[in-house]
Amino acid sequence: MSRCDQCIARQLNSMKTLTKEELKEVAACKRTLFYKKGEVIFGENELLSGVYCVREGICKMTKLSANGKDHTVKLMGKGKLIGQRSVISEERTHLSAVALIDVELCYVPKDQILDNIKSNQEFSFNVLQNLAQDLREAEGDLINMAQKSVRQRLSEALTYVSKTFGETEDGYLNVNLSREDYASIVGTATESAIRILSQFKKEGLISTSGKKIKIEKLKELERVE
């Protein structure tokens, strides 16, 4: 049982507004969990008894479709709280959470979260603002899906991964997702994602080395139509 007050991940979400006392309580009841790439944290339609704070790594939130493929609704990196929505609305999960790469998570029982929402006004308002932000992003994604081509969406996925998870010294994306992962994020067939990445390569917008991707011309990639 480690302390929470110096956790970097905590600084990135609503828990930054908790008092020292409240943090001690969280630290006392939390558990640290490790999942390997591909492991399932929870599935669809489950009842959660707590939320998971991403300390290290990235999870994907996915929904299985009728045809057996799954769509990645969003990626959760360091500091993101997984399961918050379900816990707050007291509903079953409608997405599953899967480790996209190896992850370290802190599990916090839901009562700990709900109690703080009821007692700490600053915390509560911060959660509210975060949810509002999430809602804005979800609506933005919806509009992108409705109005933009696969090509545009894939170019945005690449720049998103670059900006959110960074690049190595030699310019490659820090996180190496498979073509299938990209297809699932963009909402297209894996072959289509592969084809368009090949186009981007031919056009000099990106280059690859194995499954590693380097963005060569960011400005032009962002202007793709």
Partner DNA sequence: CTTATACTATGATAATTGTCATGTTTTTCT
Partner DNA sequence: AGAAAAACATGACAATTATCATAGTATAAG
User: Rounded to the nearest whole angstrom, what is the least distance from the CB of residue 128 to DNA in the complex?
Assistant: 35
Kindly tell me which residue out of 73, 109, 167, 195 binds a second copy, with binding defined by CB under 8 A. 73
Draw the binding track, 107-126, toward a second copy (x: CB under 8 A; -: no contact): ----------xx--x--xx-
Closer residue to DNA (CB): 194 or 218: 194
Kindly tell me which residue out of 146, 170, 202, 209 binds a second copy, with binding defined by CB under 8 A. 146
39 DSSP 8-state letter: -
CA–CA separation, 100 vs 75, rounded Å?
Answer: 8
Give the residue among 89, 97, 93, 84 at the shortest CA–CA distance from 14. 84
99-121 as b/e, with b when 16 or more CB fall inside 10 Å?
bbbebbbbbbbbebbeebbeebe
Give the residue among 121, 133, 127, 132 at the shortest CA–CA distance from 19. 121
CA–CA separation, 32 vs 24, rounded Å?
Answer: 15
Residue 179 binding result from DNA, a second copy, none, given CB thresholds of 5 to 8 Å by partner type: DNA
Draw the binding track, 157-196, toward a second copy (x: CB under 8 A; -: no contact): ------------------------------x---------
Helix (H) or strand (E) holding 51: strand 50-56
Query: Which residues are near a second copy by CB under 8 A?
Result: 63, 65-67, 69, 71, 73, 85, 88-91, 94-95, 117-118, 121, 124-125, 127-129, 131-136, 138-143, 145-147, 187
